[in-house]
Structure 1
Amino acid sequence: MLKKALLLFAVALISLSSFAKGKKDITVVFYNVENLFDTINNPDKRDNDFTPMGKLQWDTKRYNDKISKLSYVLSSIDKEELPALVGLCEIENRDVLEDLIDQEKLKKGKYRIAHSESPDKRGIDCALIYQKSRFRYIKQESINIEFPWEKEYKTRDILYVQGLVGRKDTLNIFVNHWPSRRGGQEKSEKNRVFVAKQLRKAVDKIQAKNPFAKIIIMGDFNDEPTDKAVAETLKAGNNRDSDNPMELFNLMYDMKVNGEGTYNFRGSWNMLDNLIVSNSLLNGSRGYQTLHNAGRIYRDKWICFKNKKGILTPNKTYGGTKYYGGFSDHFPVYFKLKR
C-alpha cells in the first residue's frame, strides 16, 4: 500500500510539474509606430500629408510596406511566441489596426482590438491588440484630457482596458501617448503633468477598491522616468524595497539612469517609452508576476539605422518630408509576466 501511495504521489508531482511548464509566459509590448496612417483623407482630421497627393506622398505601396515591417517587428520581439498584449500609439484608426493584425506574421495570434477615436486633431490614437485566447477582455474606457488653460488643445485619450489572464488574474492596463515637447520640454511640461494627474486619479480609484489590483501603465510619455510628470506626479519610481502593493514601479528607470533610451534626438538618447507596473505585480504571492529588471528595449540591428558616428538608432519611416522607408522613430519596449 505504501509503495502504491508513493507511486501515485510521484505521478501527481510529475503531472503538476508538466502543467506548470505548460503555463506560458505573457509578453507585454508597447510600440510607438510613428504615424501609422491610412492613405485616405479624413476631412475632420489634419491628415492631408498622409495621402498620395500630400507632401509626404503617402501611397498604398508605402503604407503596405510599413504595415508589413511593423508586423515583422512585433513577431520578432519574443523568439518563442507572439506577444499576448501590445499597446500601440500613433495609429490613425481601427482600419489600420485591422490591416496590421491581418498580416501573415501576426495572423496566427488571432488578435482582437481595443481602440476608441480620440479628439487629437492630427487623428492619432492609442490602442491595445491582444490575443483572445490569452487575455479575456472585460471592458474598456477612454480618459479624455481637457486642459483648463487651453480648451482648443486636443490631445490623445488614455485608453484603459481591463481583462483576465490565466484563471483569475485581472489586469488593468493603461495605454498612453502624452503631449509632445512642442515649444520645449520646460514650456510644455505642465501639459504632461496635467495628464499624469488624470492618470493618477484613475489608478487611485482602482486601488481604493482593491489595494492589490494588478496595474500596467505603458506608453510614450514624451517624458523620461526621472522627469516630474512621471516620477513626482504619477509617483512611479524605482523603490525596490517597498512592500506597499499600491506603489508604482518603472521598469525602464534603471536603463534610463544607465544612459539607454528608445528615441534618439540629435544624438542624445531619451527614454520616452515607459513600462510601469503596480508593486502587486512585483511582490505579490499569487498569479502573474514580473521582475524589477524585466524591462527591455527591442533593438535588433535589422530595425536600426547606423549614423555617421556608427551609432545604431531607430530606422524611421520619415525624417521631415524625406522618406526613409524604415520602421519607426522609436524602439519598442517589452517585459514578461510569469506565473
Structure 2
Amino acid sequence: MGHNSFNIAWWNTGLAPGARSKSAQNTLLLALGLIYELLHEQALDLLVLCEISETELRALADLLEASPWRLQSGLQSVGRARFDTCFVYREERLAIAGLLALTHPCGERIRRPGQHLRLLLDQRDQFHCFVSHWPSRVYADKDERNRLGMELRDEVNRVLRGDPEANIIMMGDYNDEVFDVSITEYLQASRDRELVLRKRHLLYNPFWRKLGASLDGDYFSGTIFDWRGEFTRWRSFDQIMLSAALLDGAQWRLDESSANIYSSATLSACLRKHEFDHLPVILNMQKVM
C-alpha cells in the first residue's frame, strides 16, 4: 500500500493473560502463523498485541528477525499486576518516541487505564496511541470500567489541551461494547461523525457498524466469541477510535471502509475449537495529497 496509507491493527492473542504464559507450543505456533499472515496480508505498519509474556516476545523476535518489522515490548509491572502488550511496527516508517504507563492508585490497588505510545510516522507526523486492556467482567464491574474510561479520557484531554488537532488513536480490548457508558459517556466516543467534526473533543468510533453479523464467508458477529453465551455468543469488546483530526485533518484521514474485524479460515476454525477467543480489528488511514 506504500507510504500513502497508515495501516494499524489490534489483537488480544489470549496467549498470556496478565503477562503469564499459558499457551501450549502448538497454540503459540498457530498464533505466530496468524500474526505473520495478518502483517503481510494487511501490509500493517503497526500491530498491537496483548496477553503477551516474555515467552511470546522471544518467539515473536525470532519470527520477525529477517522481516521489515521490529518488536517493542510493552510489558510493564504496576504493583502486583502488569501491562501485557507488545508493539510490532514497520521500522522504515515508524519510530516509537515514548511509552508511558497510565496508572491511578485506588486504595491498595492500582488501576491501569492504558498505555500512551507516542509515534513518529515517516519522520514527520506525530501520533498519540492509547492502548488499553481493561479487566475482564469476571473481575471488574461496570463502575470500575467507567472509572477507567474517565481516567483514560483525562489523558486524552491532556493531549488535546496541548494540541486541539492532535492525531489520537485509541485501541484495545475494553471488555465493554461500543454502546456501553464507559465508552460513550466517560471516554466520549461517538458513532456520529458529523457531531465529532463539530465537537472536536469527541472521539469517533467506526466500530458501531460492526455490531451485526458479517456478510462474508467467515461468519462472525463481534470480536470475541464465548460458546457459553445464552443469548449471544459474540461481543464487540475490541475497538479502534480516532480523534476528529483523523477525520478531516491536513495529514491523514480515516478510510471508513477499512475499519473492520479481521478473520480468515484458519482463525475462524481456531475460534470454534476454543484455541483463541478474540478476532483482530484493523483500520487504515490515507495520506492527504
User: In the alignment, residue 204 of structure 2 is paired with which amino acid?
Assistant: F
Q: 1:81-230, aligned counterparts within 5 Å?
A: 82-93=43-54, 96-103=56-63, 107-119=66-78, 121=80, 123=82, 125-147=84-106, 151-154=107-110, 156=112, 158-182=114-138, 188-230=141-183
Out of 270, 278, 281, the position equivalent to 1:333 is 281
Q: Which amino acid aligns with 1:26?
A: F
**Where does structure 2 lack aligned partners over 5 or more consecutive residues?**
215-220
Kept in 2, the 8 Å contact 1:112–1:131? The answer is: no
Q: 5+ residue gaps in structure 1?
A: 1-20, 38-44, 51-57, 307-312, 317-325
The whole-number CA distance in structure 2 between the counterparts of 1:209 and 1:98 is 37
Does 2:247 align with 1:291?
no
SS in 1 for 2:97: strand
- Asked if the contact 1:295–1:334 (Cα under 8 Å) also holds between the matched residues in 2, the reply is yes
Q: Deviations over 1:146-196 (max 9, x none)?
A: 33xxx344554611111111342111001100121126xxx7001111111
Which amino acid in structure 1 is aligned with residue 150 of structure 2?
K
Tell whether 2:203 aligns with 1:255.
no
Distance 1:145 1:128, change over 3 A: farther
Given the superposition, is the C-alpha separation of residues 122 and 211 from structure 1 closer, same or farther in structure 2, using an over 3 Å criterion? Answer: closer
Once the 2 structures are TM-superposed, how far is the Cα of residue 123 of structure 1 from its aligned partner? 4.8
From the superposition, tell whether residues 215 and 30 of structure 1 become closer, same or farther in structure 2 (CA, over 3 Å). Answer: same
Deviation at 1:239, TM superposition (A): 1.1
**TM-score, length-normalised on structure 1?**
0.72
Are 1:282 and 1:292, in contact at CA under 8 Å, matched by a contact in 2?
no
In the alignment, what sits opposite 2:245? 280
1:220 touches 1:274 (CA, 8 Å); kept in 2? yes
Q: Which has the higher strand share?
A: 2
1: CA distance, partners of 2:79 / 2:281:
24
Distance 2:113 2:79 in 1: 8
Which whole-Å CA distance do the structure 1 matches of 2:151 and 2:188 have between them? 12
Kept after mapping to 1: 8 A contact 2:5/2:284? yes
Q: Residues 114 and 123 from structure 1, CA distance in 2 versus in 1: closer, same or farther, beyond 3 angstroms? A: closer
CA offset digits 1:16-47 (Å, max 9, x no partner): xxxxx85342220100010337xxxxxxx895
For 2:238 and 2:128, how far apart are their aligned partners in 1?
A: 19
- Corresponding residue of 1:231: 184
Residues 249 and 207 of structure 1: CA distance in aligned 2, closer, same or farther (over 3 Å): same
Aligned to 1:66: 27
1:305 corresponds, among 259, 263, 269, to 269
Does the C-alpha gap of structure 1 residues 314 and 287 become closer, same or farther in structure 2, counting only changes over 3 Å? farther
> Does the 8 Å contact 1:180/1:222 carry over to 2?
yes
> Is residue 2:246 matched to residue 1:246?
no
Give the distance between the partners of 2:242 and 2:233, measured in 1 at CA. 26
Contact 1:28–1:336 (8 Å) recurs in 2? yes
Relative to structure 1, the CA distance from residue 107 to residue 189 in structure 2 (aligned partners, 3 Å threshold; closer, same or farther) is farther
Does 1:35 find its partner at 2:15?
yes
Q: How big is the shift at 1:144?
A: 1.1
Aligned length: 275
Shift of 1:134: 1.2
- Contact between 1:30 and 1:87, CA under 8 Å: does it hold in 2? yes
Q: Tell me the TM-score normalised to structure 2 length.
A: 0.84
Kept after mapping to 2: 8 A contact 1:216/1:276 = yes
Deviations 1:43-88 (A, max 9, x none): xx895x94xxxxxxx6xxx23x333322322232365564111112
In 2: Cα distance, 1:69 partner to 1:155 partner: 32
The answer to whether the Cα contact below 8 Å between 2:247 and 2:254 also exists between their aligned partners in 1 is: yes
Quote the Cα distance in structure 1 between the aligned partners of 2:61 and 2:162.
35
Other-structure match for 1:76: 37
| Conserved? CA contact 2:15–2:28, under 8 Å | no
1:310-333 Cα deviation digits (max 9, x unpaired): xxx4653xxxxxxxxx3x210011
Residues 275 and 333 of structure 1 are in contact (CA less than 8 Å); yes or no, is this contact kept in structure 2? yes
What is the CA RMSD across the aligned residues, in angstroms? Answer: 2.7
Structure 1 residue 225: deviation in Å? 0.5
Change (3 A) 1:315 1:230: farther
Q: Percent identity among equivalent residues?
A: 22
| Conservation of the 8 A alpha-carbon contact between 1:91 and 1:124 | no
The answer for the alignment partner of 2:217 in structure 1 is: none
